[in-house]
Structure 1
Amino acid sequence: MKRNRRLDPRLYRTKASVTVTLAAVMGLVGCASLQPGQPRGSSIAAPRRPAEIVTTDPASVELTAYYTRIQDERVANRLMRTDTGAQEVPVTASRLAETYIQVALREEHARGPLGFGGGADSVLRRWEAPVVYTLEFGPSVGRERRLQDHAQVVRLASRLAQASGHPISTAPLGSTQGNFHVLVLSETERRAAGPRIRAIVPGIDDAAVTLITEMPRETFCLVMAFSRDGSAVYSEAVAIVRAEHPDLTRLACYHEELTQGLGLASDSSQARPSIFNDDQEFALLTDQDLLMLKMHYDPRLRPGMTRSQASTLIFTIASELAAGES
């Protein structure tokens, strides 16, 4: 039997999440590298459907084939699963609490020129205002794809609102009236998106804009959450999703970036079953991910809390949620 070709983990970083103020980048979190390891569990293969490019972008032709090939290889390696994995890894209070701390209260990446803080403890960051997702599509995205993606985000927002208990909704298609902007752009459109990004987030730092416009192809999607007053409370967010992605990869980007932009900002090798793991085993939100989101918006936790301040509460909440799952 022909063996599945393994992927080089150096080639396939999939996403990046950034928490910034309007003056400076505070921390890079959530950028993943594909490290498939041994195949685990089962995966539901998605149709091999290339992205629909309406206004031809020459830069998109090769990228569309590139991302479709990567999705095919991941699915063949039993990655990008669409089940919850709950039967394999039961939720326990300790696992839930420890995974939550790694995902929500830790900086993921090494410190560099933009001030990213890798491995250090972080504070709890989340929204207090209602979150309204708005989808903006470049001319390269056709109407059928726009309708399909908008419907998927509407369903996703409903799940996130139910899990978190926080008001989360999606603006009507074509509206730009929201505070969490999701831009679906081709390569050329994204490179030219600086003026639009500055209009969405007045005062955004040039370095943050460059992270978007110069995003390498190894980064599949990206989200930035902003705090206008430098606090731990988010006021705006911008997510970038490549128009060249095939359906399952694009949907995975929506699930991860729109959730990470709510405050579950880091990936962790300890997170399983979860989309917040660099191994790409799961494409869509799992039950454990939704429980972590519920924890994150529990009123007993507050923005700005440190790990030491929140630790006892985190284990108390995790015990309550794990008991509810049993």
Structure 2
Amino acid sequence: MRRLLLAAGLVLSACGAVPEAEVAMHRPHWLVIDPLPDMKMFTGSAASRPLRPNAELARDFLELTFQMESGRAIERMSRFEAPITVSMTGLVPPSAPGDLTRLLARLRDEARIDIRETAAPAMVAIEFIERRRMQALVPTAACFVVPRVTSFEDYRRVRRKAQVDWASLETREQVAIFIPADTSPQEVRDCLHEELAQAIGPLNDLYRLSDSVFNDDNFHTVLTGFDMLMLRVTYAPEMRSGMTRDEAAAALPKVLARLNPKGGRLSQPAADDPTPRAWIAAIEEALGPTGSDRKRRAAALRALALAADAGWRDARMAFSLFGVARLGMADEMEISVAAFVEAARIYRSLPGGAIHAAHIDMQMAALALSSGEAADAILLCDRAIPIVRRAENAALLATLLMIRSEALRLEGRAAEARASRLDSLAWARYGFGDEAEVRTRMSEIAALTPGRLALASTDGGDSE
């Protein structure tokens, strides 16, 4: 489900009043920017420590480490027991070396892991291949990681064998990560963060975590402070490969008291809080790429009902509301807006939930723009943009800046609109990659603006 939240395409198709093809065919002067500005990239910074009780952190670590996403139990913990080497091979995209260097520096500084890049062969082999080759074997994967193989051809030969069963590991010695080479720089970076974290650390994803990439809702795109702490715990000297769940649970109080002293004493474990498979199945059906609109809406409502019955007030309830809002925009706008507002309220109360609320602000800003409420659109974008910059989501940042540009133009602020648009395009080159995709996204947002064609004749000739 990694690409459920492709940062900006959630509301634009539902709101666009002008067909995309018409905009693209005529290429109005406000869309003619040749060449596009140079790509912007994040330089990266350390994430803040999680502000949660150690009892919760211990529970999360155990569930992340001793269970697969399918719900299958992992009997023994596994990790690398020697300094970790990483290599990149295949069709390496130009942006990947810099992003990997920054990620490895964070892992050394924040997670205290002895990890470095080297020439192949390495313990962690990152291979870039054509998307069509990868998806011929794993059709739904954006990228993935496999143990005990060194290359894609190696994986092709043994993919149906017990050799690639994570649950059979006691010590990790060799893993391979496969990433499509023909995708956006941001997608490459996101895959590096998520797959490398799982190559060396926890294997599970938990929908209740609002402050982690170990969550299939995919709002966070780079490793968070929570994730770095989980990895640091994994490689703490008190921990070791081959530990059972009970042995790890006994060691965690001392480890967390040392690594996260503000989390308090771990006097007793936090209550179990499992996510039923029925809710996961409903969410995947609602927000997945297949199925009719009617079936997907029914699945979203089913997920929301299950969340309400469970009494959740966490990220799972907010994501259920998000799904209902997302799927009702075409013909149930009032219900969608109410669901977005409630989801944002819950997210803002949760650790790490600001980026989730920023996604919703983007949705609401697009709606405000399509209704001609330029001032509201600008306020929503201005609230979300700093959060999105800190979260390093270039695709979402570019979309917000595009919406802001259109709203500024509606208010007659042509110079500010132009500056915001150029900034958006520089980030879009990282977030969306392909120039055609960048221009398509810009056309879609321009199509939201009421009276866009009429406005062009009175905007002071602000063409690039």
Q: Deviations over 1:148-186 (max 9, x none)?
A: 211211121122123343320012xxx323221101111
What is the CA–CA distance in structure 2 between the aligned matches of 1:213 and 1:303, rounded to whole Å? Answer: 34
Partner of 1:72: 8
> Helix, strand or coil for the counterpart of 1:132?
strand
User: CA, structure 1 residues 259+269, in 2 after alignment: closer, same or farther (shift >3 Å)?
Assistant: same
What is the CA–CA distance in structure 2 between the aligned matches of 1:75 and 1:156, rounded to whole Å? Answer: 32
Partner of 2:142: 220
Aligned partner (choices 150, 156, 159) of residue 106 of structure 2? 159
Partner of 1:170: 117
Shift of 1:133: 1.0
- 1:123-162 to structure 2, matched below 5 A, reads 123-138=76-91, 145-146=93-94, 148-162=95-109
Aligned partner (choices 98, 114, 120) of residue 59 of structure 2? 98
> Helix, strand or coil for the counterpart of 2:100?
helix
Q: What fraction of aligned residue pairs are identical, expressed as a percent?
A: 23
What is the CA–CA distance in structure 2 between the aligned matches of 1:319 and 1:167, rounded to whole Å? Answer: 22
User: CA, structure 1 residues 236+121, in 2 after alignment: closer, same or farther (shift >3 Å)?
Assistant: closer
Count of equivalent residues: 217
User: So what's the TM-score if we normalise by structure 2?
Assistant: 0.42
Partner of 1:248: 186
Letter in 2 for 1:73: G
User: CA, structure 1 residues 84+302, in 2 after alignment: closer, same or farther (shift >3 Å)?
Assistant: same
What is the CA–CA distance in structure 2 between the aligned matches of 1:226 and 1:185, rounded to whole Å? Answer: 19
Letter in 2 for 1:299: P
Unmatched segments (≥5 aa) in structure 2 = 13-43, 150-162, 265-464
Aligned partner (choices 277, 294, 309) of residue 232 of structure 2? 294
Q: Is residue 44 of structure 2 the alignment partner of residue 108 of structure 1?
A: no
Unmatched segments (≥5 aa) in structure 1 = 1-12, 15-32, 37-69, 77-81, 110-117, 192-211
User: So what's the TM-score if we normalise by structure 1?
Assistant: 0.59
Partner of 1:315: 253
Q: Deviations over 1:71-111 (max 9, x none)?
A: 433698xxxxx999969x723212211111121121221xx
Partner of 1:306: 244
Q: Deviations over 1:103-141 (max 9, x none)?
A: 1121221xxxxxxxx342432110012211111132xx5
Q: Is residue 205 of structure 2 the alignment partner of residue 267 of structure 1?
A: yes
User: CA, structure 1 residues 84+163, in 2 after alignment: closer, same or farther (shift >3 Å)?
Assistant: closer
Partner of 2:41: none
What is the CA–CA distance in structure 2 between the aligned matches of 1:133 and 1:72, rounded to whole Å? Answer: 32
What is the CA–CA distance in structure 1 between the aligned matches of 2:169 and 2:109, rounded to whole Å? Answer: 26
Shift of 1:325: 7.1
Partner of 2:170: 232
Shift of 1:271: 2.4
> Helix, strand or coil for the counterpart of 2:9?
helix
User: CA, structure 1 residues 281+100, in 2 after alignment: closer, same or farther (shift >3 Å)?
Assistant: same
Contact 2:63 2:204 in 1 (8 A): yes
> Cα RMSD (Å) of the superposition?
3.1
Contact 1:241 1:250 in 2 (8 A): yes
Higher relative contact order (CA 8 A, sep 6+): 1
Contact 1:92 1:322 in 2 (8 A): no
What is the CA–CA distance in structure 2 between the aligned matches of 1:232 and 1:90, rounded to whole Å? Answer: 31
What is the CA–CA distance in structure 1 between the aligned matches of 2:227 and 2:203, rounded to whole Å? Answer: 12
Contact 2:257 2:263 in 1 (8 A): no
Shift of 1:263: 2.4
What is the CA–CA distance in structure 2 between the aligned matches of 1:74 and 1:92, rounded to whole Å? Answer: 34
Q: Which has the higher helix share?
A: 2
Q: Deviations over 1:186-208 (max 9, x none)?
A: 124x35xxxxxxxxxxxxxxxxx
What is the CA–CA distance in structure 1 between the aligned matches of 2:10 and 2:55, rounded to whole Å? Answer: 30
Contact 1:85 1:273 in 2 (8 A): no
Contact 1:84 1:285 in 2 (8 A): no
